[in-house]
Chains A and B, each alone.
Chain A
Amino acid sequence: MLKVEELSRRYDSLLALDRVSLEVRPGEILGLLGANGAGKSTLLRTAAGLQPPDAGRIEVAGADVWREPIEAKRRLGYAPEEPTFYEEISAAEYLAFLAAIRGLEPAAAAARAHELFRSLGLVDRVDEPVHRFSHGMRKKLSFAAALLHHPPVLLCDEAIEGFDAAAALAAKQVLRERAADGCAVLFSSHVTETIERLCDRVVILHRGRVARTLARADWGGRDSGLSPLEQEFLGILAAAAPPAPA
């Protein structure tokens, strides 16, 4: 579904990516681990079409990102590490704009946006201009924007760092559901515990190269369920939640 072949990218004298190859299969969540400067964000930015590679190619659901950019970007969702927005429009206006650009059916897109806002805890703030949002809220909005069109390929660059606990749990659940629907997810994070829990395989990048690829069985096979702390936290939230309307 997402194929990266012999990808290289240089910033002046720094070789940020050196012939990186990897593949994310349909229904798989592939973790991307690496130290600061290992090349994770460069890989994701290049795959998202933000900067051209010096060599190699990236294919998103059969479309080359740099030869057929419009087709590839139709099939791609990207949640960057530091999201940017039209600051003076509201979160709802932003998603309405994205939905129109992506040619989504208006009523279905509005319903999908509401569902995403609700699950991420943004539903009370959707009519506020984005410049009033905190860092965590901006990342939530970026995450919702990446998922709005049910993309078959999803790129997450430390996308859920900065979320509050409830939203992080909801986001992980959404990612699992997307993967269960056949979406290929490339998930970059500094938090190894999140990757351990969420991902099916992990690629470790080191100085721009693939240092190692691990399968779930290689790191002890912890299941993707909730930790005791998460279970306790969810229990408290459930007990405190108002009853659902009839």
Chain B
Amino acid sequence: MSPPMFPRTPAAAAFRSLERVLVRRRLLGVDLRLRLELLALAGLLGGFLFWQARIPLDGLLRMRGEGAVAAAVLATLLAMAALGGLIAGSRHAVRLRRGPPGPPWLALPLPPELLGRHLAFDSSAPALALVVPAAGVLLGAAGLAPAWWLAGCALAFAVSLAAAVGLGCAIAFRTAAAAVPSRPALHPLTRVLATAARRARSARLPAPRWRGGPVWLTLWRKDLLLSWRPTPARQRALPPIVLAPLAALVWWLPLEIPVARLLAFALALLAAATFAEWLIALAGCDPFAVLRTLPVGVGAVWGARMASAAAGVALLLAGQAAGARALDPQPHALFLVWTGAATLAIATLGANYGVTTYPHHDQAQRLLGLSLGVAMAASIMIPLLGWVLLLTAVLHSLRRLPRWTALEAS
């Protein structure tokens, strides 16, 4: 995506500088583990699309030749660019409606055109993620069409993505401006932002359901609610939601069974690790002074987290059970037992660390990463040693659960 064209004014320079800082901060703000997870996800998605594209493109080459392959690749990339425009436009529309992030923009002496360009730039960032599937499709076509044709397709994708994103944001802005009352003296952006600020002040949530039930169930419901709302727990919920279905989809790829089994198992472990991170993030969402002054014991807190752990592992196993049907009954059962035990141990470790280090969830995330890293390294060095270490960590953290009652905030 090309950067927006700013006129040469001090405000334009300030916006360019702000955007550079924002991009840098957002990249640095993602911790190393999450960066690696995102890279792994991008690799998996790219690889998946590579295989999905390679076989039909190869068939196309045999039937209609190189030109048809290049045309198919170009059409796919243009469709992706259009999707990018849709993503950027819908995100821009939502942000204009709810009020864009940042300072109180209307209080700053800024030309509305400049501000509008900056807000569109900020809304467009997720569309860049389409570079990953586009790269997967281009790699899938490598060798099936001349390289310079594919380079042209890549260039066309970059240009059309930038154009689609710009068009999407422009449509979003015009739609937002049309939806607010007309005031000829005011710039449309000013009207849109002023209306958004009024909406933001009066944002309402649905009325709660007043209900009883055991304490662990109330805590579990609260955990689900916090994962639904814009909290750090919601951000952590996304990777396992993506990884668990990918782990099941592996079985449908044209792979040898041993390779598919290994890949599915590795992805299931990765899904369990990110799921454990979500469980820890939930612990981080509980305000210390709220939870500790309530008549809540460690059993209820741990029970709520383990209910989530058990439900997550059950869903993951259901996907694997459906996917691994190609295996004979005995290896199938063994694979499920092995995967279930490993993923449940990892999820339990996350739940335990979240409880025993409360309210220092950052320490819990580091402990989890360290424990899983050591277990994996040990498994590579000596078969099964990693499992011994993992189970030891689970048992050790279980023994420390009663500490929860005496933990302090500082």
> Is B198's beta carbon under 8 Å from chain A?
no
Does the CB pair B210–A109 fall under 8 Å? yes
Q: Which of B202, B208, B230 contacts A92 (CB 8 A)?
A: B208
A 91-108 to B, binary, CB cutoff 8 A, 1 in contact else 0: 011011111111111110
Chain A residues near B201: list those with CB within 8 A.
132
Given contacts A86-B226, A86-B285, A101-B215, contact A110 B290 (CB under 8 A): no
Chain A residues near B286: list those with CB within 8 A.
86
> Is B212's beta carbon under 8 Å from chain A?
yes
Does the CB pair B207–A127 fall under 8 Å? yes
Chain A residues near B292: list those with CB within 8 A.
48-50
User: Which bracket fits the contact residues of B?
Assistant: 35 or more
> Is A115's beta carbon under 8 Å from chain B?
no
Alpha-carbon distance between A106 and B290 when the two chains are bound, in angstroms: 20
A 76-102 to B, binary, CB cutoff 8 A, 1 in contact else 0: 101010011111111011011111111
Q: Which of A69, A87, A93, A106 contacts B225 (CB 8 A)?
A: A93
B 195-224 to A, binary, CB cutoff 8 A, 1 in contact else 0: 000001111111111111101001100100
Q: Can you name the residue of chain A whose Cβ is closest to the Cβ of B217?
A: A100
> Is A74's beta carbon under 8 Å from chain B?
yes
Does the CB pair A93–B208 fall under 8 Å? yes
> Is A52's beta carbon under 8 Å from chain B?
yes
Given contacts A50-B292, A80-B289, A84-B288, contact A100 B213 (CB under 8 A): yes
Chain A residues near B215: list those with CB within 8 A.
100-101, 103
Alpha-carbon distance between A90 and B293 when the two chains are bound, in angstroms: 20
Does the CB pair A129–B293 fall under 8 Å? no
Given contacts A50-B409, A100-B218, A110-B210, contact A86 B290 (CB under 8 A): yes
Q: How far is the CB of A242 from chain B (nearest CB, A)?
A: 21
Does the CB pair B287–A107 fall under 8 Å? no
A 27-57 to B, binary, CB cutoff 8 A, 1 in contact else 0: 0000000000000000000001111100000
> Is B296's beta carbon under 8 Å from chain A?
yes
Ordered by A's residue number, 7 sampled pairs between the chains whose C-beta atoms are within 8 Å are A50-B288, A69-B297, A70-B297, A87-B231, A97-B218, A101-B218, A132-B201
| Extra contacts besides A100-B212, A104-B212 (10): CB < 8 Å | A48-B293, A50-B292, A70-B295, A71-B295, A92-B208, A100-B211, A101-B215, A128-B204, A132-B201, A132-B203
User: Shortest 7 CB-CB distances between A and B: which pairs?
Assistant: A88-B229, A84-B287, A96-B208, A106-B210, A100-B218, A93-B208, A73-B295
